[in-house]
Amino acid sequence: MDEMLNEFLAESAEQIEAASAQIVAFERNPADAALISSIFRLVHTIKGTCGFLGLNRLQKLTHAAESLIGQLREGAKATPAVVSAILAAVDRVKLMLAELEEAGREVEGDDSDLIELLERHVALCQGAVIEEAQAASEPAKAAVAETHEPATGEATQGKRAETIRINLDTLERIMQLVSELVLTRNQLIELTRHKDDDSLKSPLQRLSTMTSDLQDAVMRARMQPVERVFANLPRMIRDLANELNKKINLVTEGADTELDRQLIDLIRDPLTHLVRNCADHGIESPEERLRAGKPATGTVRVVAAHEAGQITIEISDDGRGLNLDRIKEKALALGLTSKPQLERMSDDEISRFIFAPGFSTAEKVTSVSGRGVGMDVVRENIQAIGGSCALTSKPGEGSRFTLKIPLTLAIAPALIVEASGQRFALPQHSVVEAVGLNGGEHKIECVQGSKILQLRDAVLPIGSLAELLNLTAPAERAGAPEPLAVIMRVGAQSFGITVDAVTDVQEIVVKPLGGSISHLSNFSGHTILGDGSVVLILDPNGVCRSLGLEQSRETAAANDEGPQSAASDKTRLVHFRAGSGVDKVLPLSSIARIETVNSSRIEYSNGMMLMHHQGRLMPIVAAAPDVAINEGDNTVFVISPYGEPFGLLVDSIVDIVEHRLDVEIGGDAPGVTGAADIGGKVVELLDIAWFFDLLHLPQERPKDRKSRLLLVDDAAFFRDMLAATLQAAGFEVVKAGSGAQALGHITRDPHFDAVLIDVDLPDGSGFELVTRLREGGARAEMIALAPYATRDIVRNAEAAGMAGAVGKFQRNQMLDLIHACIERRQVEAPESFTGVAA
Amino acid sequence: MSFEPAKISVHGAGNALEGFFSIKVGDDTFGLPVTRVQTIFRIGAVTAAPGGPPDIVGLVNLRGKIVTAVSLRRRLGLAPEPGGTADGSGSLAIGIEHRNEAFALLVDEVGDVLTLTAETAIAPPPHIGRRRAKFASGYNRVGGQILPLLNIDAVFDFAEDR
């Protein structure tokens, strides 16, 4: 019996959640008969089970709710009052279920108020519905419904019968065992690494692969769609809209994005809070919106997506945006900053103040939000799980919060650093870069007793890890300065710690600290490395606090960081080794997946390396001529630039860094766009287009004279990548980094067959540039370039008299568009503009 | 090197009897209930836990599980074991689980299993110092010797040391 009750509780909790979301959806879309039938079925199932288990109170209430829903199904109008009544009943049922779970039996109580309300609505509906719906026929109908509904219910259950419920503890236990298995395997590998015993190697290899697969499978079992968090948002938005007299439309996307269940629970509160904030502070009243020329109904969007091993959740609204003036005032009043500092800050930096503790600019305190607790807690919670929270806002257009969340808490990439002979793991998510201090270029200075590191334009607080942790240095090293600074970022705060060495980068299995040392704020857990030794995992937040960097000083740091991020042309780069030359980089955005591929999965055919990837054969190229397949695991980047994936075989990944990329074209080696400098180290940026062409060699190339293109893009990376792509397609390309440069090219020689313009240029929009270039004498067709050719961009391009717009990564569309432009130009006016040149 | 207590706890066959390991640190001998001992092993490398209670030597990998190593000598305020390593690595340790945390209690020696009954229990000697007294949960007289029983709760409770 108990077991049945538990089963019932678990199932009902889900059903009731689903029902309330569906009721809100139905209110908006009353024509959806399938929806109301589904709601009816959900409530009906609960009612039926309650009757079976002898839960009388629940049964009575659900029966009343069911009758009213039945009326809706018969065609009665879903007025807000009716929906509110049903939602009230749903809430009561939820409450009763919670009590039931706690007490193990139904708690006494009186629901006559609600039942009466529901019955009154039923009566009203019956009156309002067509006269034929006489009371007499009602029981008969209900009876019919009761005999039919369970059948359909079973049918739908039959479809998803391939799942079973597992006790959470069981799953956790499996996860724990797998973690330990991973550690044991790592130890075994470490032990046999230096031994040439082939009889051991192959079974160990198999064990290794299977362990990885098992780990993957268990992780996947713990994954749940974020839908679980999204499900209660429609209801919340509806209630908020009613309470605040606003019209709000909620759009959710990517509800099927999966996340570790532990994380799902942890992001629920922050996410709910942000959505609430958007609805309360962001969206204006309908009148205000109409006055501002916006539709009366505001939109709150919640979009979840996978991105490079983490989940991004964006919460945005099209409301009024942040009131920067109010924030400035408040920041000054709270003493968080000074006037001169404020003047130097960008809008984004000013917006960041809302994450300061006790910061609330709501002029009226509503019951919804605006009590000044919140944003700081939101960010703290997100950071606590290794995530980040960013914010952008445009006055009058709305604001957007971007949460980045790791896929799981249990396993994380970490740097292994050494200080005073002891090793520590440092979670990679908070590491920005490592800087060598011996070169003399960067050195630590003491300013008023505090250590400071000047790094490019930034002034960073820095501390010695050994001093911070009171480690005693081994005698032979005492007094020697630590040669390496690891720069970290926690929220808006950047800081550095000095260490003796970074010895390794490893995926670590995070284990919580035992109770006797869990109070140590510098550490978030511990783990066992491949060699069997135990290391403590540093907690960046704790280290930040230990350095004496409190939240209130955050503004100063945000300011230091300012010039760096203001000029940000930063790209997330994968830093890796391939071949014997210098290290290579590729923008993370260009890599669809990073796969570890066993050598047995790579086959040769026709002189080409191939592997099975998502059910298809995918070609693989080596990233450098001297990269060869290793026995065992190989690292392959799956790159899918034009919708056709191919693999790039590399030796090993060094790091993922966020860095400004200034390419100085070298161009001597094939497949290399050029050399760049990241953090004082020379790396080569690979040219994806070259590798792509290598695989698709016999390309159609225009045989006639080379058409000449002008390419305007301020980002060096895109300029070079696109130029390479276009040149490979047989065009002559002239590059310009700004509107002014482009105009210079046009006035010198207007003979271009087409002009490609990035819509977002530092000196004005690309659309404005069209007019300027035309005035300057350009006669060629113009094409707008954007990261993605959204509908807005296409429309704007059309309005500006451009031939079209295309996404920067859409190579085929881009080439088609260019060819179309050139053809049209040749047909219309063959070479007749010579007289125009200045 | 390590052995499981299950093999030897058969000693206590009678009803009121309970088996106790006699463990030695310095000149002191304590009794430790056999049922609380999960394993006895020699620890490998020790990872210090900077900032933690001083009596915690550090963290140790016990067959893939991380356990907190506590020095009984330090706990009792005794001098380090002559000939022992500075960080405690290589010491003899007793695996004990306490309040869901796995501990390794570092001792000098583990001796025989003694069988104690209600008759061997005696009243605590009145003149024992407070700092030491809290680590004993009872006293027994066995074979003409006084054997204090180790108070495991007190040994692994570091609330006072923070």
> Which of residues 91 through 120 in chain B touch A, CB cutoff 8 A?
99-103
Contact B108, B19 (CB under 8 A): no
Calculate Rg over the CA atoms of chain B: 16
Rounded distance between C-alpha atoms, residue A350 and residue A361, angstroms? 13
What is the pLDDT, as a whole number, of residue A155? 39
Q: Where are the domains of chain B?
A: 5-161
Short-list A337, A344, A355, CA closest to A393? A355
Rounded distance between C-alpha atoms, residue A379 and residue B123, angstroms? 58
Which residue from A184, A516, A533 is facing B158, i.e. has the nearest CB? A516
DSSP for A700-727, written as a single string? ----SSPPEEEEE-S-HHHHHHHHHHHH
Structure tokens at A685: 């940026």
Q: Which helix (H) or strand (E) holds A545?
A: helix A540-546
Structure tokens at A755: 């002009």
What is the pLDDT, as a whole number, of residue B31? 92
Residue, of A757 and A564, whose pLDDT is higher: A757
Rounded distance between C-alpha atoms, residue A100 and residue A13, angstroms? 12
Amino acid at residue number A546: S
User: What stretches of A186-257 adopt beta strand conformation (E)?
Assistant: 223-225, 248-253
pLDDT at A372 over 80: no
Average pLDDT rounded to a whole number, residues A439-468: 81
Summarize pLDDT for A340-369 with one digit per residue, the tens: 878 878 887 788 888 876 676 554 444 444
What is the pLDDT, as a whole number, of residue A668? 60
Matching residue, tokens 């080596």:
A622
Residue of A nearest to B61 (CA): A534
Average pLDDT rounded to a whole number, residues A812-817: 82
Average pLDDT rounded to a whole number, residues A435-460: 79
pLDDT at A551 over 50: no
Cβ within 8 Å, pair B66-A519: no
* Helix (DSSP H) and strand (DSSP E) numbers for chain B: 3, 12
What is the pLDDT, as a whole number, of residue B107? 92
Relative to beta strand A523-528, strand A534-538 is antiparallel
Apex A335 CA angle, A330 and A336, nearest 5: 80
Helix (H, G, I), strand (E, B) or coil at A180: helix
* Backbone phi and psi for residue A475, each to the nearest 5 degrees, phi listed first: -50, -40
Short-list A82, A78, A81, A40, CA closest to A62? A40
What is the pLDDT, as a whole number, of residue A700? 41
Rounded distance between C-alpha atoms, residue A436 and residue A443, angstroms? 9
Average pLDDT rounded to a whole number, residues A24-47: 79
pLDDT at A543 over 70: yes
Could you tell me the end-to-end alpha-carbon distance of chain A, in angstroms, rounded to an integer?
A: 92
Rounded distance between C-alpha atoms, residue A274 and residue A135, angstroms? 47
All domains of chain A in start order, with CATH: 2-159 (1.20.120.160), 168-225 (1.10.287.560), 227-406 (3.30.565.10), 411-566 (2.30.30.40), 570-695 (2.40.50.180), 708-836 (3.40.50.2300)
Is A828 exposed, middle or buried (CB count within 10 Å of its CB: 0-12, 13-18, 19+)? Answer: exposed
Q: What pTM, to 2 d.p., does this model score?
A: 0.47
Whether B68 has its CB under 8 Å from any CB of chain A: the answer is: yes
What is the spatial order of strands in the sheet that A602-605 belongs to? A593-598, A633-639, A646-650, A616-622, A608-613, A602-605
What is the pLDDT, as a whole number, of residue A550? 53
Cβ within 8 Å, pair A516-B162: no
Contacting residues of B for A417, CB less than 8 Å apart:
none
Q: How confident is the model at residue A370 (pLDDT cuts 50, 70, 90)?
A: very low
What is the pLDDT, as a whole number, of residue A560? 36
Which residue from A469, A517, A535 is facing B68, i.e. has the nearest CB? A517
Relative to beta strand B121-122, strand B136-142 is antiparallel
- The ipTM (two decimal places) reads 0.80
**CA distances, A76 to each of A652, A775, B144 (Å):** 65, 64, 93
Amino acid at residue number A825: R
Relative to beta strand A804-807, strand A781-786 is parallel
Percent of chain A scored above 70 by pLDDT? 83
Contact A569, A678 (CB under 8 A): no
pLDDT at A663 over 80: no
Structure tokens at A196: 């040439």
Mean pLDDT (chain A) is 77
What is the pLDDT, as a whole number, of residue B93? 93
Q: How crowded is the C-beta side of A288, counted as CA atoms within 13 Å?
A: 12
Helix (H, G, I), strand (E, B) or coil at A322: coil
Rounded distance between C-alpha atoms, residue A426 and residue A415, angstroms? 5
Structure tokens at B26: 């310095």
Calculate Rg over the CA atoms of chain A: 31
Q: Which helix (H) or strand (E) holds A400?
A: strand A398-406
Determine the distance from the C-alpha atom of residue A338 to the mean position of all C-alpha atoms in its chain, rounded to a whole number.
34
Rounded distance between C-alpha atoms, residue A425 and residue A431, angstroms? 11
Apex B157 CA angle, B155 and B162, nearest 5: 120
What is the pLDDT, as a whole number, of residue A724? 76
Residue, of A160 and A760, whose pLDDT is higher: A760
Average pLDDT rounded to a whole number, residues A267-291: 87
**Poorest-pLDDT segment among A4-13, A504-513, A555-564, A767-776:** A555-564
Summarize pLDDT for A78-91 with one digit per residue, the tens: 777 888 888 888 88
What is the pLDDT, as a whole number, of residue B17? 53
Q: How confident is the model at residue A838 (pLDDT cuts 50, 70, 90)?
A: very low
Contact A489, A461 (CB under 8 A): no
Summarize pLDDT for A291-344 with one digit per residue, the tens: 988 898 999 999 998 876 678 899 999 988 888 888 888 888 877 778 887 887
* CATH no., domain B5-161: 2.40.50.180
Short-list A284, A364, A360, CA closest to A327? A360
* Beta-carbon pairs below 8 A across chains A and B: 72
**Which of B66, B67, B71, B155 to substitute to test the interface with A, most A CBs within 10 Å?**
B66
Give exposure, A129-156, as e/b (b: 16+ Cβ within 10 Å): eeeebeeeebeeeeeebeeebeeeeeee
Helix (H, G, I), strand (E, B) or coil at B78: coil
Residues 6 or more apart from A721 whose CB is under 8 A from it?
Answer: A673, A687, A688, A689, A808
Give the count of beta carbons closer than 10 Å to the beta carbon of residue B100: 7
Cβ within 8 Å, pair B61-A515: no
Give the count of beta carbons closer than 10 Å to the beta carbon of residue A751: 16
Q: Which helix (H) or strand (E) holds A73?
A: helix A56-73
Q: How confident is the model at residue A525 (pLDDT cuts 50, 70, 90)?
A: confident
What is the pLDDT, as a whole number, of residue A365? 43
Residue, of A132 and A289, whose pLDDT is higher: A289
Structure tokens at A264: 């799902």
Summarize pLDDT for A722-739 with one digit per residue, the tens: 887 787 777 888 888 888
What is the pLDDT, as a whole number, of residue A696? 65
**CA distances, A758 to each of A181, A467, A566 (Å):** 51, 50, 19
Mean pLDDT (chain B) is 82
Residues of chain A whose C-beta is under 8 A from some C-beta in B? Answer: 180, 183-184, 187, 422-423, 469-471, 511, 514-517, 519-520, 522-523, 526-528, 532-536
Q: Which helix (H) or strand (E) holds A464?
A: strand A458-464
Average pLDDT rounded to a whole number, residues A391-401: 87
Rounded distance between C-alpha atoms, residue A490 and residue A542, angstroms? 10
Residue of B nearest to A518 (CA): B52
Contact A27, A83 (CB under 8 A): yes
pLDDT at A60 over 80: yes
What is the pLDDT, as a whole number, of residue A134? 43
User: What stretches of A516-662 adopt beta strand conformation (E)?
Assistant: 523-528, 534-538, 570-577, 584-587, 593-598, 602-605, 608-613, 616-622, 633-639, 646-650, 652-660
Residue, of A209 and B84, whose pLDDT is higher: A209
Rounded distance between C-alpha atoms, residue B10 and residue A240, angstroms? 68
Name the maximum alpha-carbon separation found in chain B: 47
Which residue from B47, B61, B65 is facing A536, i.e. has the nearest CB? B47
What is the pLDDT, as a whole number, of residue A156? 41
Contact A731, A739 (CB under 8 A): no
Q: How confident is the model at residue A243 (pLDDT cuts 50, 70, 90)?
A: confident
Q: How confident is the model at residue A671 (pLDDT cuts 50, 70, 90)?
A: confident
Average pLDDT rounded to a whole number, residues A200-215: 82
What is the pLDDT, as a whole number, of residue A538? 92
Name the maximum alpha-carbon separation found in chain A: 98
Contacting residues of A for B103, CB less than 8 Å apart:
514, 516
What is the pLDDT, as a whole number, of residue A642? 59
Give the count of beta carbons closer than 10 Å to the beta carbon of residue A309: 14
What is the pLDDT, as a whole number, of residue A147? 35
Helix (H, G, I), strand (E, B) or coil at A732: strand
Rounded distance between C-alpha atoms, residue A696 and residue A700, angstroms? 10
Q: How confident is the model at residue A615 (pLDDT cuts 50, 70, 90)?
A: low
Residue, of A727 and B98, whose pLDDT is higher: B98
Rounded distance between C-alpha atoms, residue A133 and residue A141, angstroms? 10
Rounded distance between C-alpha atoms, residue A597 and residue A635, angstroms? 6
Cβ within 8 Å, pair B61-A532: yes
Contacting residues of A for B58, CB less than 8 Å apart:
534
Percent of chain A scored above 90 by pLDDT? 4
Cβ within 8 Å, pair B52-A520: yes
Is A54 exposed, middle or buried (CB count within 10 Å of its CB: 0-12, 13-18, 19+)? Answer: exposed
